[in-house]
Structure 1
Amino acid sequence: MSTIKSAAVALAALTVVGLGASPALARDGADTMKPAPQTCNASGGTFYCGGDYGDGKTYVTLADGTKQLFVIGTDHNVWTTWTPPRGSQAPWMSLGGTKDFVTKVKIVNKKGDAFSVASRSAAINADYYRDRSAGGAWSGWWTYAVPRG
């Protein structure tokens, strides 16, 4: 009898260890299981990383040497901070979004200090974009999936 109890306890322990070692899973839009994102910390902020978020950080360097960092915050929106070459880091600022971004921020259409940030929306399974002018002004969010205008 004690051999059976010992085997049951050992099996239960292996089951718990096995479950604890496996990564968390979440359903994606295609109803398949993918690793759930983790949270990472850098530059005083908490953001998503892992899976489709990669390391979670996207940098762009402006003409004056300012480094700007973009992440997807735990509210699933885009957040940014920047550090000038001879200065301190700016406070984190939300660029908003659709509250359902599921990929790392991408920088696209970079021309000098003008560029667009993009991330995929889970709701429409398409990228949303926000444009930055060379002077630093930001547009609203838009997507090719929904015509502008």
Structure 2
Amino acid sequence: MATTPAQASECKRGGGVYICEYGVSVKKLPDGTRQEFIIGTNRAVYTRWNDTSGDWTKWKSMGGSAKSGVSITDHWSQNDPWAFHLVITQTDGQFWVNGRKRDGFWSGWYPHPGPD
């Protein structure tokens, strides 16, 4: 992960470095595992998850260019407990969304007119 702007403080979690003020967002999945999301010091979104034994993966970049923390919403999930969406404010000031599908694959970032 790249260097942080001078005004942002860095925090560490599971071998990753992230911008403290944006915190860690966590989604608990139906099988009891968890998936975590942070904003790296290069402003990309990173994720990691644990398995049912509690072992964690390494951080994986999901791209993006955030100037906010990660919000997790089930709003568009159509009542599927495995599906959810991430919402960030990108550095262009717009809301961007990335949707997790039931199979664990992601839609990729796309613009959204608002956080509804």
Question: Shorter-chain-normalised TM-score: which range?
Answer: 0.7 to 0.9
Higher relative contact order (CA 8 A, sep 6+): 2
Report SS of the residue matched to 1:91: coil
Within 5 Å, give how 1:11-50 maps onto structure 2: 36-50=7-21
2:73 is aligned to 108
Give aligned pairs, total. Answer: 104
2:63 is aligned to 96
CA–CA separation in structure 2 for the residues paired with 1:87 and 1:108 = 24
CA–CA separation in structure 1 for the residues paired with 2:8 and 2:52 = 32
Uncovered stretches (5+) of structure 2, i.e. residues with no partner: none
Amino acid across the alignment from 2:67: V
Report SS of the residue matched to 2:110: coil
The answer as to whether partners of 2:33 and 2:54 remain within 8 angstroms in 1 is: no
Bigger Cα Rg: 1
1:22 is aligned to none
TM, length-normalised to structure 1: 0.65
CA–CA separation in structure 1 for the residues paired with 2:58 and 2:13 = 13
TM-superposed CA distance for 1:87, in Å, is 4.1
2:109 is aligned to 141
1:120 is aligned to 89
CA–CA separation in structure 2 for the residues paired with 1:112 and 1:137 = 14
TM, length-normalised to structure 2: 0.82
Uncovered stretches (5+) of structure 1, i.e. residues with no partner: 1-25, 27-35
1:82 is aligned to 49
Identity of aligned residues (%): 32
CA–CA separation in structure 2 for the residues paired with 1:71 and 1:122 = 16
Q: Does 1:132 align with 2:107?
A: no
Say what the alpha-carbon RMSD is for the aligned residues.
1.6
